[in-house]
């Protein structure tokens, strides 16, 4: 039995030696292949560069829901105006008002401090986060 184990170990070692030699040979082949592959990669990069400007020409279409004119409530119209406008314009005008009056919190810039005009829009709250602000403002917009 000991002889069989020794024979198996010897065979295993011979197989491992053959595999090691095979690995070395493939390693040499792979470096040769890498050198050959470099030239086509440059061509592919040039082709991709030529195709890139074609993608820039096609602009992303805006979501029509954002472009739809909305009528602001009386409380919101005191800040952004009373004409119907898209949500994107309402947001821009609201941020212009916040910056103009310095209503962004000095320590935590994500917080907006409400003044007398914004307090009814913010549901009577003194301080609102940016993310909560969009939710509260949407409640003051109706279809025009």
Q: pLDDT tens digits, residue range 82-115?
A: 999 999 999 999 999 999 999 999 999 999 999 9
CATH number of the domain at 84, please: 1.10.245.10
Please indicate, yes or no, if residue 112 is contained in any of the structural domains. yes
Q: Element (H or E) spanning 102, and its range? A: none
Please indicate, yes or no, if residue 64 is contained in any of the structural domains. no
Cα atoms found within 13 Å of the Cα of residue 72, Cβ hemisphere only: 24
pTM: 0.56
Please indicate, yes or no, if residue 124 is contained in any of the structural domains. yes
| Rounded-to-integer distance, Cα 75 and Cα 94, Å | 12
Please indicate, yes or no, if residue 121 is contained in any of the structural domains. yes
Please indicate, yes or no, if residue 33 is contained in any of the structural domains. no
Number of domains in the chain: 1
Please indicate, yes or no, if residue 113 is contained in any of the structural domains. yes
- Cα torsion angle, 48, 49, 54, 57, sign: positive
Please indicate, yes or no, if residue 48 is contained in any of the structural domains. no
Model confidence pLDDT, tens digit, residues 58-86 = 788 878 888 899 999 999 999 999 999 99
Please indicate, yes or no, if residue 18 is contained in any of the structural domains. no
Supply the range of the domain harboring residue 126: 73-143
């Amino acid at each position: 039995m000991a002889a069989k184990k020794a024979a198996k170990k010897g065979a295993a070692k011979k197989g491992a030696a053959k595999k090691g030699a095979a690995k070395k040979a493939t390693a040499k082949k792979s470096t040769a292949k890498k050198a050959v592959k470099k030239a086509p990669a440059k061509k592919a990069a040039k082709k991709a560069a030529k195709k890139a400007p074609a993608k820039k020409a096609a602009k992303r279409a805006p979501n029509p829901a954002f472009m739809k004119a909305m009528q602001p409530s009386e409380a919101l119209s005191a800040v952004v105006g009373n004409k119907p406008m898209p949500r994107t314009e309402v947001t821009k005008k609201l941020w212009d008002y916040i910056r103009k009056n310095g209503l962004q919190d000095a320590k935590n810039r994500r917080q907006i401090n409400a003044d007398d005009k914004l307090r009814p829009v913010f549901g009577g709250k003194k301080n609102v986060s940016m993310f909560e602000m969009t939710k509260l403002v949407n409640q003051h917009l109706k279809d025009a």
